[in-house]
């Protein structure tokens, strides 16, 4: 590999690391909170669907139910309920 190409790659790598550190790291907690809020909304929609409440996204979320059930305990604790007494119960 010629030396100038290696320098260019190293420079691009350094620029990408700088971009990550400067722009993304400043809002990392906000981005995580937004992602968690979106996951909570999806869980709530899927829970309502499981309980029989009609949902416009029922068909699209049906295959996600097994994955969401794995996180049910953490979710209902974060929503402020110490015990979950819904169908299937987790506590």
Listed in sequence order, the residues at least 6 apart from 76 whose beta carbon sits closer than 8 Å to its beta carbon are: 84, 90
Running DSSP on this structure, what letter comes out for residue 71? Answer: T
Q: For the chain, how long is the longest CA-to-CA vector?
A: 66
Question: Domain residues of the chain, as ranges?
Answer: 3-78
How large a percentage of the chain has pLDDT more than 90? 20
Q: What is the pLDDT of residues 2-31, one digit of tens each?
A: 578 889 999 999 999 998 888 877 788 888
Would you say 48 and 86 are in contact if contact means Cβ atoms under 8 Å apart?
A: no
Q: State how far Cα 63 lies from the chain centre.
A: 17
| Global model pTM greater than 0.85 | no
Tokens 């992602």 — which residue?
35
Question: What pLDDT shows up at residue 11?
Answer: 92
Tell me if 65 sits within 8 A of 86, measured CB to CB.
Answer: no
């Amino acid at each position: 590999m010629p030396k100038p190409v290696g320098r260019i790659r190293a420079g691009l790598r350094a620029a990408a690391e700088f971009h990550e550190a400067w722009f993304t790291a400043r809002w990392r907690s906000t981005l995580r909170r937004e992602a968690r809020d979106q996951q909570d909304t999806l869980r709530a929609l899927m829970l309502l669907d499981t309980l029989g409440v009609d949902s416009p996204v029922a068909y699209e979320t049906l295959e996600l139910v097994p994955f969401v059930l794995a996180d049910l305990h953490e979710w209902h604790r974060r929503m402020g309920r110490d015990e979950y007494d819904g169908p299937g119960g987790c506590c």
